[in-house]
């Protein structure tokens, strides 16, 4: 019983995917409506529901004015974060091969740390040179 419900759910999901893919004009065949061999042959009601929702739930777009106003707000917020008092921007050191996803995330952190350390090192060096020149 449980297995049958799972199988029907899988069939329905495959049918939705096929319809959505066809909508995206991907080269995937949508299962036929007629005939007893189609995946949703015994679930005619579900098939009708899928077809209705696929056609009947449109996408809306926010107004241009709203989108631009929010973009502006986010830009200002980002400027505050990257303002003169914020931390120095890190430099990215390219790493050719990422060994695994877990370490990849750690490597991304390390890149930022390395970048910060380089920036700090350069700042200290410049200060020492300026101080020596002032003394000379």
Shortest separation between residue 84's beta carbon and another protein, angstroms:
14
By CB under 8 A, name the one of 27, 36, 58, 94 that touches another protein: 58
97, two tokens: 């091969």
Q: For residue 103, what are its two tokens?
A: 């370490």
Query: Which residues, numbered 97-136, are part of the site for another protein (CB under 8 A)?
Result: 97-101, 105, 108, 112
Spatial distance between the Cα atoms of 84 and 77, rounded to a whole number of angstroms:
14
> Does residue number 45 form part of the binding site for another protein (CB under 8 A)?
yes
Judged by CB under 8 A, does residue 53 bind another protein? yes
Based on the shown chain and the rule CB under 8 A, indicate whether residue 33 belongs to the binding site for another protein.
no
Q: Is 56 in the site for another protein (CB under 8 A)?
A: yes
Q: Which residue is it, tokens 């991304």?
A: 108
Q: Which long-range contacts (CB under 8 A, 24 or more apart) does 110-114 make?
A: 114/90
For residue 15, count CB atoms less than 10 angstroms from its CB and return exposed for 0-12, middle for 13-18, buried for 19 or more. Answer: buried
DSSP class of 8? H
Q: Interface residues with another protein (CB under 8 A)?
A: 5-6, 8-10, 12-13, 16, 20, 24, 43, 45-46, 48-50, 52-63, 66-67, 70-71, 73-75, 77-79, 81-82, 89-90, 92, 97-101, 105, 108, 112
């Amino acid at each position: 019983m449980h297995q049958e419900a799972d199988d029907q759910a899988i069939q329905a999901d495959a049918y939705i995917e096929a319809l959505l893919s066809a909508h995206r004009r991907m080269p995937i065949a949508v299962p036929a409506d007629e005939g007893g061999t189609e995946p949703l042959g015994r679930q005619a009601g579900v098939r009708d529901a899928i077809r209705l929702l696929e056609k009947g739930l449109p996408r809306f777009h926010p107004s241009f004015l709203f989108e631009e106003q929010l973009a502006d707000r986010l830009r200002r917020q980002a400027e505050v974060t990257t303002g003169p008092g914020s931390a120095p921007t890190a430099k990215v050191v390219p790493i050719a091969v990422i060994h695994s996803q877990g370490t990849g995330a750690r490597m991304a952190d390390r890149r930022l740390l390395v970048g910060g350390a380089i920036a700090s090192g350069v700042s200290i060096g410049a200060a020492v040179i300026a101080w020596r020149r002032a003394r000379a």
